[in-house]
Amino acid sequence: MPIARKPQDDPALQGTLPEDPAFQQYLSKGGSAAKTQPEAPKDVRFTLHIPGPLCQELDRVREARPLKISRHQWVLEAILEKMQRESGQGM
Amino acid sequence: MILVIGGTKGGSGKTLLATNLTVLRAVTGQDVLLIDADEQGSAMDFTRQRQRRMEGEAGYTAIQTREVDVAVQVRRMAPKYGDIIIDVGGRDTASQRAALAVADRLLIPFPPTSVDLWTTDTVVTLLKEAGAFNPGLRAYAMINKAFPRGADNAEAAALLQEYADSWTYVATPVGNRKAFSNAFGGGYAVTEYQPRDAKALAEIRALYQYIFDTKAV
């Protein structure tokens, strides 16, 4: 496939709009759209299988806390702690 | 009809209204184009969610564009569609100004709070400036995200009616109902969503009836 040049504005289409400086001034009084920021990586979902006894133990530890947290939150904390230990970096 | 859902304040519920009115219009058999001119792209996200759920067929066409290209696309697409509904971002942008230069109607939702109603003067200025290029533009103001009780709704309505020179006040408020946001997340109009919220249905149908001068299906 041959390389195509970047398309230019279609003058025929532009011509249907007022070309006078007053219209351009009217438009420019509105703010520009924000520049696109690089997208942060999206959250990843996956299914986690935990052996029953281990999950029971997890729940026991979790419920022993004065402030209850979800399994999901507990596992996230565990991941972060392990990452800190292994890489010396926290998030 | 080329309808802009606009205003100069974010968080007024423009996208919820734009998507609901688009679906209500499309189910009547009208060929509807939804233009997402908001850089957040929430109306496109809604459409993608809807397409995913409906095996690719949202029931209307949606495009995303911005700034002067909004006007270019509207001029180009107007002969091909029965109606064009444009969702613009929550501030005074070149995209909104371009849309107002080519639209028939502007619907401005105002939540009944002071901080939202303080933007009335900036909207009036914007309308005056747009009117220089589009004298046929007709503006309508309404209360969106109305409170379930209290005097705020009535006070906001009274304030909006003071601007009769700038817009027509539409007495079909839409409440701040969870059904709208729940439906939106699934790519549904509130009329399609289960469990049904009878009040939300009645409100959006009344607004639709006013704007399009016909009953919602």
Please list every residue in chain B whose beta carbon sits closer than 8 Å to the beta carbon of residue A29.
92, 97, 129
Regions of chain B short of the pLDDT cut 70: 215-217
Res B9: pLDDT: 92
Res B152: pLDDT: 94
Does the distance separating the beta carbons of B91 and A27 come in below 8 Å?
no
In whole angstroms, give the CA distance from residue B74 to residue B95: 12
Does the distance separating the beta carbons of B97 and A27 come in below 8 Å?
yes
Please list every residue in chain A whose beta carbon sits closer than 8 Å to the beta carbon of residue B45.
none
Res A85: pLDDT: 87
Does the distance separating the beta carbons of A17 and B66 come in below 8 Å?
no
Does the beta carbon of A26 lie under 8 angstroms from any beta carbon of chain B?
yes
Per-residue pLDDT band for A4 (boundaries 50, 70, 90) equals low
Res A90: pLDDT: 47
Smallest CA-to-CA distance from B87 within B150, B27, B13 is with B13
- The DSSP-derived string for chain B is -EEEE--SSTTSSHHHHHHHHHHHHHTTT--EEEEEESTT-HHHHHHHHHHHHTTT--SSEEEE--THHHHHHHHHHGGG-SEEEEEE-SS-BHHHHHHHHH-SEEEEEE-SSHHHHTTHHHHHHHHHHHHTT-TT-EEEEEEEEE-SSSSHHHHHHHHHGGGTTT-EEP---EE--HHHHHHHHTT--TTT-SS--HHHHHHHHHHHHHHHTS---
Res B69: pLDDT: 94
Please list every residue in chain B whose beta carbon sits closer than 8 Å to the beta carbon of residue A14.
72
Structure tokens at A12: 């025929």
Please list every residue in chain A whose beta carbon sits closer than 8 Å to the beta carbon of residue B93.
30-33
Whether B190 and B183 have beta carbons less than 8 Å apart is answered as: yes
CA angle, residues B22, B51, B53, in degrees to nearest 5: 115
The per-residue pLDDT for range A11-61, each reduced to its tens digit, is 555 556 767 788 888 988 888 765 556 678 888 888 989 999 999 999 999
Res A84: pLDDT: 87
Contacts of residues B119-126 at CB distance under 8 Å and 24 or more positions apart, as own/partner, are: B119/B7, B119/B8, B119/B9, B120/B159, B120/B160, B120/B163, B122/B8, B122/B92, B123/B7, B123/B8, B123/B166, B124/B163, B124/B166, B126/B8, B126/B92, B126/B96, B126/B97, B126/B100
Res A89: pLDDT: 54
In whole angstroms, give the CA distance from residue B7 to residue B106: 9
Whether B9 and B90 have beta carbons less than 8 Å apart is answered as: yes
* Out of A22, A23, A33, closest to residue B66 by CB: A33
Chain A contact probe: residue of B80, B127, B133 with most A CBs at under 10 A: B133
* Out of B76, B92, B129, closest to residue A31 by CB: B92
Does the distance separating the beta carbons of A30 and B97 come in below 8 Å?
yes
Q: How many CA atoms lie less than 13 Å away from B161 in the CB half-sphere?
A: 8
